[in-house]
Chains A and B, each alone.
Chain A
Amino acid sequence: MSRRRGLTGWRGVGRESRSDRAVSITVNYVIALSITAALVSGLLVGAGTYVENERDQVVREELTVVAEQLAAGIGDADRLARTAEDPTVRVGVDLPRRVAGESYRIEIVNLSAPEPQPERYELRLRSAGSGVSVTLTLSTLEAMNETSVNGGWVVVELDTGGTDALEVSDGDPSETLSLSRPGGTRI
């Protein structure tokens, strides 16, 4: 009897709690889903930010290297320009067209030093997508024209037309430098 009562009692308890069971399952689902969603999205956001930071870092490093290479090309042209009276100087610098998948623009700004000192210029490289900017200061003995060009094959030439200054311009990578020069047949 007691056993039966016991059974009845157990059943009674079971019956009472069974009405809560659906609720507990739903709550369980909701909690599990939201925790998982929070974890996954946290992971994604964290990883995304990390990748974004790394990307900026990589772009900055590559722009620095590109700026150094352009500065070396300008230095070469500057040295050649001073070897004789008004020589023809054209130096091609083969820079990468894109850094980390982004195009970039090179800007040359005069820092206008007083006359007897060597000219000082800033090379400002800015990537189009992430907007990372790198600045490099360089000195030249010949003056340089302020200009801005796209990254890629860049030509540094001495403009002997009157200003007698170094000019950086976009080049055509499909042609070699020597052949692309207008009237450059006399050798």
Chain B
Amino acid sequence: MADVNPRSDARRARRGSSRDRGQLLLVGALALAVLFVALALLLNTAIYTGNLATRDAGVDAAPAIEYAADSRAAGAEAVWSVNYRNNTTYPELNAAFRGTVGRWDGLATHHRAVAGDLAAAEVAAVTNGTRIEQDDAARNFTSAGESENWTVASGSDLSGVRAMRFAVDASELASGPSDAFHVNVTSGGVTRSLYVYANGGDDTEVRVVDDGTELASRSFDPGADGTLVVDVSNGSVEGTAYPELRTLLDVGAGTEIEYRYGNAAEGTYTMVLDEPESDLSLPGLVDDDSGQPYWTPAIHGATFEVTYRTSELDYEARIEVKPE
């Protein structure tokens, strides 16, 4: 094989440059070896790509979103709990609320620290509100001065009503729509009404009217206890969904809430307004617990500053906390 391959010693002795033989194959083999190394490196990269593809994609945003949702739920629970246990003054309610949220925040921070994440929820603002309530289930829905058509609350800044619930005694309702008890919520020149009356049989009719147009009218069985629970904020009657009820609370500034034919219904009711008593006109209510309809200070809602940080994520948001 000529220069490519050295052969016998005899020939090598005859030709002085025999040591140079085989260069071509040697160089070719070396070049091929380099190529094979490059191929091996590429295969390594391909394997790494496969590894990369099976890793968790991106950062996990779920813990941050969960934390924000949890703090909103905890805040709503805290508002509910503070309003339930305390109805004295705004400073006391605020202190109790901030204390409750602070304790929850401490626990949640410890919980998240286990995963190496930093989480914090802090109260940015509290909306002082007013709770309106009637506790005496045997009393009709007239005002403290026994007026049957009366203004429950009005105010130029009143723009939010929540937790509006009625528990009416079905046996004491008017037997037709003409002189039935109804709630009028007026805002921006639009009046929305909720009528509750007996529809002739054993059932109770609940009707929602939007500025003179009937939105919905459905009848419900009050059940064995004879009490019909109308949850306007939750949009349900006796636990059955009735979403049209919520249009009643779709209000802006300058809202007025009135009762008509308050003598045609009996039971209890409650609602929370987004303004303190000093900014409201509550002509038909008293401020003591004498069995008459009354008002107390309450927390309407709050704003939280929520922070969630990991090594790959920085999230800070202002969330609104408002129970239903």
Q: Which residues of A contact B (CB under 8 A)?
A: 28-29, 32-33, 36-37, 40-41, 43-44, 47-48, 50-51, 54-55, 58, 61-62, 65-66, 68-77, 79-80, 83-94, 96, 99-101, 176-178, 181, 184, 186-187
Contact = CB atoms under 8 A, between A and B. Distances in A.
B59 A51 contact: no
Contacts of B309: 177-178, 187
Given A40-B25, A51-B35, A79-B65, 14 more contacts: A29-B2, A61-B46, A62-B49, A65-B49, A69-B52, A76-B61, A84-B306, A85-B317, A90-B314, A91-B314, A92-B313, A93-B59, A101-B45, A181-B314
Of B48, B61, B314, chain A has the most CB atoms within 10 Å of the CB of B314
Interface residues of B, number: 44
Interface in B253-308: 306-307
A83 B65 contact: yes
B64 interface: yes
A152 B88 CA distance: 58
B241 interface: no
B61 A80 contact: yes
A78 to B, nearest CB: 9
A91 B4 CA distance: 62
B243 to A, nearest CB: 24
Contacts of B310: 178
A91 B312 contact: yes
A36 to B, nearest CB: 5
Given A44-B31, A80-B64, A187-B309, A51 B42 contact: yes
A40 B24 contact: yes
B314 A100 contact: no
30 contacts: A32-B3, A32-B4, A36-B25, A40-B25, A40-B27, A41-B28, A43-B28, A51-B35, A58-B45, A62-B49, A69-B52, A69-B57, A76-B58, A76-B313, A80-B65, A80-B313, A84-B68, A84-B306, A84-B317, A84-B319, A88-B314, A90-B314, A90-B315, A91-B59, A91-B61, A91-B312, A92-B313, A100-B42, A178-B314, A186-B307
